[in-house]
Structures are given as C-alpha cells and as structure tokens.
Amino acid sequence: MTKENPSSSNINKFADKYITFFEKEFGRTRESYYLFFDDNEFLKDCERLEFKMDGGNAFIEKYGEKAWNTVEGLKERVDHIEDTQAIGNALVSQWRYFNHWSSPSYANEETKEWFLMLFRRMKALLQ
C-alpha cells in the first residue's frame, strides 16, 4: 500500500470532508455521533496524513488546557493556533477519547463546535 503524502492539498481535502460532515450530519441525529466516533474512517484519514494520537499533550502544551477542554477556551486561542500538525494531533486525540475512553453518547453541540473550530482553523492556515 502506498502511503499518502501529507501535502497541503491532502490536508485541505481532509478539512473540507470533515467540515462538510460536521455541518451537515453531526448532531442531526443521535446516531450521527456514533457514525463518526465508532467508525475508524476518521482514524485512517488521520494516519494517512501522519496525525498522531498523543492524548492532546502537544496541543495542551502549546495552547493550554482550557483550549483543549472547553469551547470557550478554544475560542479564546483559536486565532493563535498556527500549527496544522498540532491541530491534526488534537483532532485525532479528541476522536480517540470518545471512541475508546468515553462514549459517543456524551458528544453534543459543544463537541461539534470544538471540532469545527479546529477543522476551520486548519483550512484557514492552508489558504
């Protein structure tokens, strides 16, 4: 199997794919949470782009625990985030939290907003 090069174009396509999903599907039904968090498609997409699960450690170190744990904290910091690798690692780490340690049933509109903010910031950094 050929490994995909994590180019800006590939990361941009990744961001577009998940922005569309979160805007149109995530939260529309309760099952949509499970669709995202119980399916490994997102994890595979992240691995192809070399995003790594690190429990949010790199993101927390750079942008703070408040930005990791709360939508309000992320809103305060999102414009200062300049690292697509840190964003990708944070996204896959947060996905893993719901996939493995927590439950998709705890996902809600704040979860949606947190993910969307980071996908949108990722996309903005590639423009």
- Are 91 and 46 in contact by the 8 Å Cβ rule? The answer is yes
Query: 28-45 pLDDT, tens per residue?
Result: 887 888 889 988 999 999
- Are 27 and 112 in contact by the 8 Å Cβ rule? The answer is yes
Side-chain half-sphere exposure of 41, counting CA atoms within 13 A: 8
Residue-range domain boundaries for the chain? 8-125
What does the alpha-carbon distance between residue 39 and residue 6 come to, in Å, rounded to a whole number?
22
Kindly report the pTM of this predicted structure. Answer: 0.90
* Tokens representing residue 122 in the block: 């990722």
pLDDT at 103: 75
pLDDT at 53: 95
pLDDT at 6: 67
Query: 104-113 pLDDT, tens per residue?
Result: 778 889 999 9
